[in-house]
């Protein structure tokens, strides 16, 4: 498989959220503000890329029976590194994300890519696949956050976009809105890009 | 040699040895990383707490550690640590760490009272997990400033603040609640009320000792 093919597959055609429907919990939780989504996305890209790379690097030596334990250990290590890094360098951001950073460990996309890709491919391709899946995830998060922040606060990245005439929708700030925004998004993308119109047959 | 190695990787002990090795390697990397940043993280936390304490006493915030050392004295009474602000020998008031449950999680903050213990100087929220945009608005100045210089005593009784809807005028012992976040607003008022009761006993005890 060519490198750009791996990238396109990971980020778009096999997008972790709208195609594989993985990592939904965090997509619901952190998407009420653009900035939270962006940082969460960057954290996931970093963890995903490096854990895929590392898992692929030691895949020939990893006994099959303990491979999941090894994967979890590696993923957890990188997540803790992200967490400590944020605490040390960006304490405000770390407070805003709160427990979500720790929850990257349970993000199914990371384990999913490790099992589906890194376990069978060379380290460099795994790295590309990890970055691609991470970017695919981040794009969806930002899309949802854009809708939610704009309607819930009238702002984007904290800058007021809609004026005083806009009455913020409180529901957009709370979890339920993430469910229907995400649902509509997945429906739209599947309808637009994955369903073959029967008329063309 | 190659044969021997292959044989070892098929033994039952190999997965265990492998797992221990991987755990050791990653464990040490994490330990190193943690160690090299621990000081920085605790400095951030220290700085934030000092800044918050200065802000509840309305002291200047441009040189936090210096101002803190000059004005604030850390004290303990009956196992509770609190802070007293002094300008030269004149006491400016007392500041207590506060904690209590909000709607979703723990709300923690600082509550400062004056020397006579009849007015709140200020209330500051350090941590909360309320719904962003609704209960999360308890950290906004529009809500928090209502507690600044707020009377809470009628004779010797500590009065519980009454809640009135947002944008309505408030009386002496009343607080405007946040629309759509009644529970979070109530939680803050309860936390403050409970702490005031607690502070009274602490201050009384402390002064009997002196």
Extract the tokens encoding A71.
């994967």
Q: Provide the residue count of chain A.
A: 201
Distance CA(B179)–CA(A170), nearest Å, equals 11
Contacts of A84 in chain B (CB under 8 A): 33-34, 37, 41
pLDDT (average), residues B3-18: 76
Per the CB < 8 A criterion, the answer to whether B119 and B135 are in contact is no
Region for residue B32 given its phi and psi (left: phi exceeds 0; alpha: psi -120 to 50; beta: otherwise):
alpha
Helix (H, G, I), strand (E, B) or coil at A62: coil
More confident residue, A98 or A10: A10
pLDDT (average), residues A15-23: 83
The answer to whether position B199 is within a domain reads: yes
Q: What is the pLDDT of residue A48?
A: 92
Per the CB < 8 A criterion, the answer to whether A43 and A109 are in contact is no
Which residues 160-199 of B are in CB contact (within 8 Å) with A?
180
Q: What is the pLDDT of residue B206?
A: 59
Per the CB < 8 A criterion, the answer to whether A28 and A182 are in contact is yes
β-strand A159-160 against B72-77: which pairing, if any? unpaired
The answer to whether position B25 is within a domain reads: no
pTM for this model (two decimals): 0.73
Contacts of A114 in chain B (CB under 8 A): none
* Number of neighbouring beta carbons within 10 Å of residue B154: 11
Extract the tokens encoding A174.
């709370």
Distance CA(A97)–CA(A38), nearest Å, equals 11
Question: Is B6 a residue whose pLDDT tops 80?
Answer: no
Region for residue B91 given its phi and psi (left: phi exceeds 0; alpha: psi -120 to 50; beta: otherwise):
beta
The answer to whether position B197 is within a domain reads: yes
The answer to whether position B116 is within a domain reads: yes
User: Distance (Å) from the C-alpha of residue A118 to the closest C-alpha of chain B?
Assistant: 17
Among A23, A65, A25, A67, smallest CA distance to A48 is for: A23
Q: State the pLDDT confidence band at A144, using cuts at 50, 70 and 90.
A: very high
Find the chain A residues whose C-beta atoms sit closer than 8 A to any C-beta of B. Answer: 32-33, 58, 61-63, 65-66, 69-70, 73-74, 77, 80-81, 84-85, 87-88, 91, 95, 98, 152-153, 168, 170, 173-174
Distance CA(A131)–CA(A114), nearest Å, equals 12
Pick from B26, B43, B183 the residue to mutate for testing the A interface (most A CBs within 10 Å).
B26
DSSP 8-state symbol, A197: P
User: Taking CB atoms and an 8 Å limit, are B40 and A88 in contact across chains?
Assistant: yes
Question: Is A114 a residue whose pLDDT tops 70?
Answer: yes
Contacts of B129 in chain A (CB under 8 A): 98
Q: What is the pLDDT of residue A201?
A: 43
Residue corresponding to tokens 């809105």? A177
**For helices A123-153 and A34-57, angle between their N-to-C axes, nearest 10 degrees:** 170
pLDDT (average), residues B168-192: 88
* Number of neighbouring beta carbons within 10 Å of residue B163: 16
Helix (H, G, I), strand (E, B) or coil at B99: strand
The answer to whether position B153 is within a domain reads: yes
Extract the tokens encoding A27.
């997509």
User: Could you report the per-residue pLDDT of B72-95, keeping only the tens digit for each?
Assistant: 888 887 778 889 888 888 888 889
B56 contact partners, CB below 8 Å, separation of at least 6: B95, B110, B111, B112, B121, B122, B123, B124
Give the mean pLDDT of chain B: 85
Question: Is B131 a residue whose pLDDT tops 80?
Answer: no
Question: Percentage of residues in chain A with pLDDT exceeding 70?
Answer: 96
* Number of neighbouring beta carbons within 10 Å of residue A57: 17
Q: State the pLDDT confidence band at B207, using cuts at 50, 70 and 90.
A: low
Q: Which domain holds residue B202?
A: 73-209
pLDDT (average), residues B6-26: 86
Count the domains in chain B: 1
A11 contact partners, CB below 8 Å, separation of at least 6: A132, A133, A135, A136, A139
Give the mean pLDDT of chain A: 85
Q: What is the pLDDT of residue A76?
A: 92
Among B61, B62, B58, B87, smallest CA distance to B72 is for: B87
Question: Is B210 a residue whose pLDDT tops 60?
Answer: no
Q: What is the pLDDT of residue A139?
A: 92
The answer to whether position B3 is within a domain reads: no
pLDDT (average), residues B92-105: 89
The answer to whether position B29 is within a domain reads: no
Distance CA(B199)–CA(B121), nearest Å, equals 14
Question: Is B158 a residue whose pLDDT tops 90?
Answer: no
Helix (H, G, I), strand (E, B) or coil at B24: helix
User: Could you report the per-residue pLDDT of A75-93, keeping only the tens digit for each?
Assistant: 999 999 988 988 888 887 7
For chain A, say whether B11 makes contact (Cβ under 8 Å).
Answer: no
The answer to whether position B104 is within a domain reads: yes
pLDDT (average), residues B98-122: 89
């Amino acid at each position: 498989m060519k490198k750009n093919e791996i990238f396109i597959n990971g980020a778009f055609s096999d997008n972790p959220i709208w195609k594989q429907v993985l990592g939904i919990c965090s997509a619901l939780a952190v998407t009420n503000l653009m900035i939270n989504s962006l940082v969460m996305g960057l954290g996931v890209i970093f963890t995903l890329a490096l854990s895929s790379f590392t898992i692929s690097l030691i895949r020939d030596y990893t006994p099959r029976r303990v491979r999941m334990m090894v994967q979890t250990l590696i993923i957890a290590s990188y997540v803790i590194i992200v967490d400590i890094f944020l605490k040390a360098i960006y304490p405000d951001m770390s407070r805003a994300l709160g427990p979500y950073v720790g929850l990257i460990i349970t993000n199914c996309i990371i384990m999913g890519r490790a099992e589906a890709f890194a376990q069978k491919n060379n380290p460099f391709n795994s790295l590309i696949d990890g970055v691609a899946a991470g970017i695919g995830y981040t794009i969806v998060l930002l899309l949802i956050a854009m809708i939610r922040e704009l309607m819930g606060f009238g702002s984007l990245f904290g800058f007021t976009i809609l004026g005083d005439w806009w009455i913020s929708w409180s529901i957009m700030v709370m979890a339920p809105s993430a469910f229907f925004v995400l649902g509509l998004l997945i429906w739209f993308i599947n309808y637009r890009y994955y369903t073959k119109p029967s008329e063309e047959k | 040699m190659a044969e021997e190695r292959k044989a070892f990787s098929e033994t039952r002990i190999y997965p265990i040895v492998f797992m221990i090795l991987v755990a050791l390697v990653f464990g040490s990397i994490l330990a190193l990383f943690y160690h090299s940043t621990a000081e920085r993280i605790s400095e951030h936390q220290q700085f934030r707490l000092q800044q918050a304490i200065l802000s509840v006493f309305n002291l200047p915030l441009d040189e936090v550690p210096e101002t803190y050392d000059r004005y604030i004295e850390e004290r303990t009474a009956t196992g509770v640590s609190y802070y007293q602000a002094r300008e030269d020998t004149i006491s400016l008031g007392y500041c207590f760490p506060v904690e209590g449950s909000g709607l979703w999680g723990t709300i923690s903050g600082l509550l400062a009272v004056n020397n006579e213990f009849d007015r709140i100087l200020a209330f500051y929220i350090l941590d909360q997990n309320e719904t962003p945009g609704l209960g999360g608005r308890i950290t906004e100045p529009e809500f928090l400033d209502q507690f600044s210089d707020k009377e809470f005593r009628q004779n010797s009784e500590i009065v519980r603040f009454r809640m009135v809807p947002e944008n309505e005028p408030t009386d002496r012992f009343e607080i405007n609640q946040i629309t759509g976040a009644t529970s979070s607003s109530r939680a803050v008022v309860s936390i403050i009320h409970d702490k005031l009761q607690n502070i009274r006993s602490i201050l009384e005890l402390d002064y009997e000792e002196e």
